[in-house]
Structure 1
Amino acid sequence: MMKLLLLFSMALIALNVDAKPDTRVYELRTYHCHEGKRADLIARFQNHTTRIFEKHGMTNVAYWLPTSPEMKNDLIYMLSYPSMEARQAAWKAFSTDPEWQKVAADSQINGKIVAAVDSKFLKMEPELTKKLKLKAKSPERIFELRSYYCLPGRYPNIVARFRDHTRDIFETHGIENIAYWGTIEKDDTQSHLVYIIAHESEAAAKNSWDAFRADPVWKKAQKASEEDGKIVEKVVSVMMAPLPFSKLR
């Protein structure tokens, strides 16, 4: 009896641990390189930067190359931190690290690599993602980064629609849910939904999206969710291939 009680208690503890929300701060960064310099940036990340990030408490989550020709000079990556305060401290320590300063200087002997940087801070959307899934179902897959900008006051509606319908319908059409975040905004600006899904290939992605949009179950869910007005104002999608050193592949 005591053994059974102990096993039951351990199971409850495990459930409570799994139920803990992911409160980390995620940062999605896009580096726009000078023409012909992206290969230098990739080498710098692979050989130096990722390791120096980890030394200063930053967690490397993923590194991707957009597949669109229009983004041929871009690299997208994601880091996570225990908190925003930890993020600020980590970047300060990183930027003043003599090792990093030497790496940066040596890598730019023939010219600057990065022309501009875009950054978004994200928090995991607890109603949509319990844990970031790093392990691949298949050895090769393509990722899709999607950002949904909602009409005023409609962010809770998009979360509800994904929670109650969209994610499950995705899976029936071969679209793998990876993770969902809401943006962290500085003022009263409404968050927008950022999520990552995976496909077997870009061709598979097109087939899955065609089937999803034609699915009567989805059409019914969309119609019901928009009885009191449209939810989404704009959608931005980027197809991405993971780099070999990306944890999320």
Structure 2
Amino acid sequence: MKRRSFVKGSLISGAAAAITPAAAMAKPEFNRPPYREHYELRVYTFKSVEQQKTTEDFYRDVFVPKVRKELHEPVGVFTELNPAGQTKLYILIPYNVYERYAGLNYALENDKEYWAKGAAFLNAPANNPAFERMDTSLMQAFMHMRIKQIPPREQRIFELRQYKSASEAAGKKKIEMFNDKGEIDIFKRLGFKPVFFGETIFGNDRPNLTYMVTFKDMEDKAAHWKAFVDDPEWKRISAVPEYADALLVSKITSTMLVPTDYSGI
């Protein structure tokens, strides 16, 4: 796992009057408009049950409690509903402002208790790694849904969908459909219980947008998507030539997930 180190001296020198302009530019503006959350998505690939257990033990016993303490945020932890072989593990970490992303990494980097409790995962040897691969992306919430919504803790499954675009312009145009043309409102009106909508700002396969919606079970999922496709408002939006999927979307990925018993989402 890659970790960033932050230079303590920069915090001290930032207080010096001689660099006031630079310090002012770097200072986090927690009240700046418009307020939008950020979401980090980590996806772990394993080759064995033992690897998955090591990673899940770390997140359940060390990482999730630490994030609750540092950020006061729920961490979503999910496995695949119908994995092809060993399941992947999906971790969703919300940040109410971007600066908390850097702040959490700094706090963990310097937390001796965290490194001691998480040693089996954090210091796993090269000949017995805790996972085979970790893919990470950071997303910024859409303007029309700037804060996550946690669904009720009842029987539920989640669909994580990603729309990849061939160009930056196409990606922005697709996001415009959600933000400005009412697509998010359709999801809410039809009871999809969306958790978040995010544009990937760091990560693989950019440009892309990713979102998560909630269902009771697979039958409920099928019923909701049929209602969406048949919805008159969706038909009106999708019929506009400039919003044709053939122009804006190069690939759609759908992954069905189930929350672990320690997931905060």
When normalised by structure 2's length, the TM-score is: 0.72
Contact 1:65–1:242 (8 Å) recurs in 2: yes
Structure 2 residue 83 is the aligned partner of structure 1 residue 69: yes
Is 1:40 paired with 2:54? yes
Q: Is the 8 A contact 2:36 2:142 kept in 1?
A: no
1:151 to 2:166 alignment:
yes
Matches within 5 A, 1:153-232: 153-163=169-179, 164-185=181-202, 191-226=207-242, 230-232=247-249
Instruction: State the alpha-carbon separation in 2 of the partners of residues 154 and 234 from structure 1.
Output: 12
Match of 1:94 in 2: 108
Instruction: Give 1:117's aligned residue.
Output: 134
In 2 relative to 1, CA 71–92 (structure 1 residues): closer, same or farther, beyond 3 Å?
Answer: farther
1:10-60 deviations in Å (ceiling 9; x for gaps): xxxxxxxxxx64334321111222311323322322122212334554844
Q: Are positions 1:79 and 2:93 aligned together?
A: yes
Classify 1:206/1:227 alpha carbon distance in 2 versus 1 (closer, same or farther; 3 Å): closer
Is this contact kept in 2: 1:22–1:124, CA < 8 A?
no
Structure 2's unaligned 5+ residue stretches are 1-32
Separation in 2, partners of 1:106, 1:92 = 21
2:144 is aligned with 1:131: no
In structure 1, runs of 5+ residues without a counterpart are 1-19
- Deviation at 1:198? 0.8
Deviations 1:119-152 (A, max 9, x none): 00111111x203211242x622211111111232
1:237 aligns with: 254
Question: When you count strand as a share of all residues, which structure comes out higher?
Answer: 1
Shift of 1:80: 3.0
1:88 Cα deviation (Å)? 3.3
Q: Deviations over 1:171-196 (max 9, x none)?
A: 4544222221111148xx96421111
Note the aligned Cα RMSD (angstroms). 3.2
Would the aligned equivalents of 1:35 and 1:73 in 2 still touch at CA under 8 Å?
A: no
The AA in structure 1 aligned to 2:47 is H
SS in 2 for 1:184: strand
CA distance, structure 1, for counterparts of residue 184 and residue 96 of structure 2? 27
Asked if residue 103 in structure 1 is aligned to residue 120 in structure 2, the reply is no
CA offsets, 1:83-120, max 9 Å, x none?
55543343244245332322333465994322211100
The farther-off stretch of 150-159 and 81-90 is: 81-90
**Structure 2 partner of 1:17:** none
- CA deviation after TM superposition for structure 1 residue 73, in Å: 2.9
Q: Percent identity?
A: 21
